[in-house]
Structure 1
Amino acid sequence: MFGFLRRRRRDRIRSRPFPDEWLRVIRRNVPMFGRLPEADRRELLGHVQVFVVEKNYEGCGGLELTEEIRVTIAAAACILLLHRRTDYFPGLITILVYPDAYVAPATTHIGGGILMEGDQIRLGEAWKGGVVVVSWRDLMETAAGRDDGRNLVLHEFAHLLDMEDGAVDGTPVLEGRGRYARWSSVMEHAFERLRRDRALGRYSVLDKYGATDPAEFFAVATEAFFEKAAPLRRRHPELYEELAAFYRQDPARWDRPASLVLVDPEGDEDEVPAVEGPS
């Protein structure tokens, strides 16, 4: 009964006219929106309406929350939900938004069973208790195209998907038991390859932070899947295939702005002419 009522309420929210100002915010702050197929854009806007209504946001470090902040985070996060049955990150309790990088207590393993406690400067994090923390300035760096394929919101909300089964291990809930064996094999192989690349100082389309552990690898791979799709598909075809099956999307086939050229230091440029989006 409660599930039925929740679906009806969400259907009503999605049926409302989408605010013009929200659309301008998304076009300005979420560059990926312009690359999505038209049907995906419509689906995303409906998800944004539900997300903004249902999710709690808190400004931290003196940041005053605005509709722009709420809508920007919602649009970036909900890209992960396209084409998938979703309950809108059900474990999420609140989103903490800082104006810039922030300082958080951290414990670091320095070897020999020794732990070092201290403060650490961070841009974002996701807690198993249902909290996501992001830096607004970093989101604006992504909007301006200055983050070299990183995407903080995709990274942290990928962690939430990973946590939905109660574990933080780089394996989200998959459809069908048969999927887990191949997922594990592909992810483990790509993870070990990234660890070798980091140790040897070799180039990788994947951010080296993904070599930290399997959970961080999944989050980093999610960023690359959406932000560096063509290079990822070329260099890690099996990894790309697994992520495409999970997210039910194929971003390597999306249209890219004419000015965007992805350069692979050890390969060719990927450049695709732009097509105009809806006005």
Structure 2
Amino acid sequence: MLKTIIVFLIIGLILTGIFGYPILRKRRRNSLKNRPFPPIWNAIIENNLPIYTRLYPGERRRLQGHIQVFLSEKQFIGCGGLQVTEEMKITIAAVACLLLLNERESYFPKLASILVYPSTYLAKETTSTGNYIVEERLVARLGESWTNDQIVLSWEQVKQDTSNWRDGHNVVLHEFAHQLDGEDGKVDGVPVLQQNSDYLIWADVMTKEYQRLCDDVQLDRKTVIDSYGATNTAEFFAVVTETFFEKPHQLHNQHPALYQLLQRYYQLAPVQWDITRG
């Protein structure tokens, strides 16, 4: 009897992934990725994501597989009277899954729900003013990533960002970059890296580039990286992710070390996805 219990415990541990990658989850995800990609989904992405047709065939197929897994595992919730449509889900998933094309395949493990508002929404913000006084106020927002299990997005902003791909602003890329950043339990501008030696390189390049942006902002100098990135190191990582995907040529030319660092992390070369070609 005891041996039987031990055998079942071992099987359970293996299946839940304590001895390695969760076997059942991997099998289910592979099955989802191998399903035929619905033509209507493909049409939605071609219409809403300018760089989609510029991806290499292998990248496009990987993106399609990631989208199918993402849609199976994440819940979309309409807020402010919004009815979430198939177009909204596919568009948001397609942009978010660009961050997974390096085969990280973690699928934003802490994230359970994406809340979608029709446009700008109001959120409570709590600040301490000192002397044990805490102030609460409502602030207008376009998106935010909660470290527990939710992301909030404005659909109006999502549409604006995808239709103006090269402006360097993308709320989906920004908020999902925060999710990558927080996978280790801290949102500090340092995501989980492949090797321990990578952290030294990351710290060196990111520290220098962050300080450079702060100096540029303080001196009112024009920069390809949005000034919001100077808020803190977490926002810097999210903002430069937007820049990497939307303004890769400018980033590569003006901040080559930063571009190479992000290219190594995402294992992608967005300079090759030039939407001005053809």
TM-score, normalised to structure 2, is 0.89
Give the CA deviation at 1:146.
Answer: 7.2
What is the identity, as a one-letter code, of the residue corresponding to 2:226?
D
Please tell me whether the aligned partners of residues 166 and 246 of structure 2 are also in contact (alpha carbons under 8 angstroms): no
Q: Displacement, 1:28?
A: 1.1
* Match status 1:181 vs 2:200: yes
- Pick the aligned partner of 2:101 from 82, 85, 110: 82
The change in CA–CA distance for 1:111 and 1:185 in structure 2 (over 3 A counts) is farther
CA contact (8 A) 1:109 1:116 kept: yes
Given that residues 162 and 169 in structure 1 are in contact (C-alpha distance below 8 angstroms), is that contact kept between their aligned partners in structure 2? yes
Cα distance 1:111–1:207, how it changes in 2: closer, same or farther (>3 A)? farther
Give me the whole-angstrom Cα distance separating, in 1, the residues matched to 2:130 and 2:53: 46
Matches of 2:194 and 2:143, distance apart in 1: 29
Normalised by the length of structure 1, the TM-score is 0.88
Q: Runs of 5+ in structure 2 lacking a partner?
A: 1-14, 17-21
**Do residues 49 (structure 1) and 72 (structure 2) align?**
no
* Aligned residue number for residue 6 of structure 1: 25
List per-residue Cα deviations over 1:103-128 (Å, max 9, x = no partner): 11113577999865311110000011
Partner of 1:235: 254
Does 1:37 pair with 2:56?
Answer: yes
Structure 1 alignment gaps of length 5 or more: 258-272, 275-279
CA distance in 1, matches of 2:131, 2:165: 39
Residue pairs, 1:106-125, within 5 angstroms? 106-108=125-127, 116-125=135-144
Instruction: Report the aligned-residue RMSD.
Output: 1.8
| CA deviation vs aligned residue, 1:80-136 (integer Å, no higher than 9, x gap) | 000223121111011000000101111357799986531111000001112101100
**Superposed counterparts of 1:119-138, under 5 Å:** 119-138=138-157
What residue is the counterpart of 2:179 in the other structure?
A: 160
SS at 1:69 equivalent? helix
Structure-2 change in CA distance of 1:107 and 1:16 (3 Å):
same
Larger helix percent: 2
Letter matched to residue 145 of structure 2: A
Alignment size in residue pairs: 259
Whole-angstrom CA distance in 2 between matches of 1:197 and 1:109: 29
Stretch of structure 1 that moved more, 52-61 or 27-36? 27-36
Query: Percent of aligned positions with the same letter in both sequences?
Result: 48
Moved more, 31-40 or 42-51: 31-40
Measure how far apart 1:45 and its partner are. Answer: 0.4
Aligned match for 2:215, one of 196, 201, 216:
196
Residue 234 of structure 2 corresponds to: 215
